[in-house]
Amino acid sequence: MPISLTPQQNQAGDPDLAAQGFGRLSPHAALQFDLSTQSRLAAEHFEQWGYVVLKGALEAQEVEALNQFFEDSQRQRPDLWGLGEKRKPHHRNQGLILSQPLLDFPELDQYLQHPGSFSLIASLLGGTEHVRWSEFNFRETPPDAGLGTMNFHHDAVLPDRHLRAPYLPCDYLCSIHYLTPVTDLSPAFCVVPGSHRFESLRAAFEALGADYVEQPIRGPAGTCILYDTALFHTRLDGNGREGRRTWHQYHARGGFLSSSLPTTSRYIRAPSPSLTDWNLIPQRLIEHPDPKLRRYFSHWNSAQGEWVASGFDPKVRATMPRGES
């Protein structure tokens, strides 16, 4: 595969397109695991490379129901998707996003701890007592959206990841479910395996050497990707005509954990801080009768604290970013 020496050069060599890495695309399909029979292998893959792909994580009828949800909610509540007159600046060039569907659609609660992925997510974050909800959203690249401009990046990270021992469990973990088939013609999630311990993509490129590769992830609807948010990743363009629908759910690590740093043999890792300052948890989940679910929803940000103090006042919610109802 062609290898460029600068991440400023994209694969097409076109200066108007995004800097999508060093151009060393893997010629192989990403390994995929069946969680029901390969849970240990799937966990080992994540622990080594910072991501894992689960095949058939959603049932066909769930894929169908979620696609129907996209269509119904876009028709009934286009404003929540940023469609039409109120299309928001931060959504331009990134497709459509329904940022906080749990607030207004309790029928989605059934997907929160999905059996196709949740047991592995929980164990990778240290067990069911340590897994915390952070974010849930739906995104769509509509058909004929053209080419995007996403660069390789990582999401939220904590600085001690470079020094702490052991590294795992990670601070945040995201799951992406494909709700439409992802082929080489459609936008595709792409990761740099093993890049989660590096400050920059160039540092990963230089340190990983021959192991450095940009791995596109393609698969049928129902495919699930779990990744450490410290892992470098991007969205590869397809042909600009095929669309894609995805469900994104972020988790954080909760509880206090004994660890060590080079300067001190004993070090306590605090719970991961709130992933965002705007994501809100609805009252029915904050006050859920199951204490395990209340613990799962126990990572509140300042906006959440203010909303709870107001008695979940819809007027207070409406003042918050992406809080429209």
Task: Give the footprint of Fe ion on this chain (CB under 5 A).
Answer: 155
The stretches of 32-141 forming alpha helices (DSSP H) are 39-49, 60-76, 118-124
Residue for token pair 């076109």: 14
Instruction: Please give the full DSSP string across 189-223, using - where no structure is assigned.
Output: EEE-TT-TT-SSHHHHHHHHGGG--BEEE-B-TT-
Q: How far is the CB of 153 from Fe ion (least distance, A)?
A: 6
Q: How far is the CB of 230 from Fe ion (least distance, A)?
A: 11
123 or 215, CB closer to Fe ion? 215
Q: What is the rounded distance in angstroms from the CA atom of residue 298 to the CA atom of residue 301? A: 10
Q: What is the rounded distance in angstroms from the CA atom of residue 219 to the CA atom of residue 213? A: 19
Q: Read off the amino acid at residue 270.
A: A
Q: Read off the amino acid at residue 305.
A: G
Q: How far is the CB of 150 from Fe ion (least distance, A)?
A: 8
18 or 35, CB closer to Fe ion? 18
Q: In degrees rounded to 5, what are phi and psi of residue 252?
A: -120, 165
Other C-beta atoms lying within 10 Å of the C-beta of residue 92: 9
Q: How far is the CB of 20 from Fe ion (least distance, A)?
A: 13
Q: In degrees rounded to 5, what are phi and psi of residue 149?
A: -140, 40
Q: How far is the CB of 30 from Fe ion (least distance, A)?
A: 17
Give how far Cα 181 sits from Cα of 37, 60, 171, 222, Å: 23, 12, 30, 8
77 or 248, CB closer to Fe ion? 248
Give yes or no for a contact between 172 and 51, defined as CB atoms under 8 angstroms apart: no
13 or 273, CB closer to Fe ion? 273
The 3-state secondary structure of 60-76, one letter per residue: HHHHHHHHHHHHHHHHH
Work out the angle at residue 235's Cα, subtended by the Cα atoms of residues 230 and 241, and round it to the nearest 5 degrees.
170
66 or 225, CB closer to Fe ion? 225
35 or 174, CB closer to Fe ion? 174
120 or 230, CB closer to Fe ion? 230
Q: How far is the CB of 155 from Fe ion (least distance, A)?
A: 5
50 or 282, CB closer to Fe ion? 50
Report the residue number whose CB is nearest to Fe ion: 155
